[in-house]
Amino acid sequence: MIVITSSQASKEYLNLLREKGIAYLISRGNEFHLTEPMEKLKSIFGIERISLQGGGLVNGTFANEKLIDKLSSVVIPFVDSSSSVPTTFETGSFFKHPISPLEFKLKEMQKIEPEGLWLFYQRK
């Protein structure tokens, strides 16, 4: 596990990570950005690809910095019309600008029994 945190993380939090033997990278500056920490994941740890399995805000943060190149989605016939259900990509008040649209092209599709679909997209 490698934690990416902002420069505003408390000393107590960073000490806790050290005590537990968890590696961490700090996003420098007043705003939280992922581009530099992702470059460090590659240069320091040799990590070239990650599987992003976050919630809407985490996914939105990566999308905002155009750090998503593939998208895998499972669709099932279930409807929840609640307005409190989170979306796949969300923005928060900490974003200075709305997420720029990312375009993807369908690369593969499989039926998942009994009623689902697995869709795999590649960024254009």
Residues 45 and 92 both lie in one domain: no
Residues 2 and 41 both lie in one domain: yes
Residue 64 included in any domain:
no
Residue 63 included in any domain:
no
Residues 39 and 89 both lie in one domain: no
Q: What residues make up the domain containing 42?
A: 1-50
Q: Which residue has the tokens 């950005």?
A: 33
Total of domains in the chain: 2
Q: For the CA atoms of 33, 54, 92, 81, what is the dihedral angle to 10 degrees?
A: 160
Residues 36 and 80 both lie in one domain: no
Q: Distance (Å, rounded) from C-alpha 51 to C-alpha 55? A: 13
Residues 84 and 124 both lie in one domain: yes
pLDDT in tens, the chain (124 residues): 889 888 888 999 999 999 999 999 888 876 778 888 899 999 999 999 898 888 888 888 888 888 999 999 888 887 777 777 777 877 766 666 666 788 999 999 999 988 999 999 999 9
The first and second tokens of residue 100, run together, are: 């720029």
Asked whether 26 and 2 are in contact (CB, 8 A), the reply is no
Residue 60 included in any domain:
no
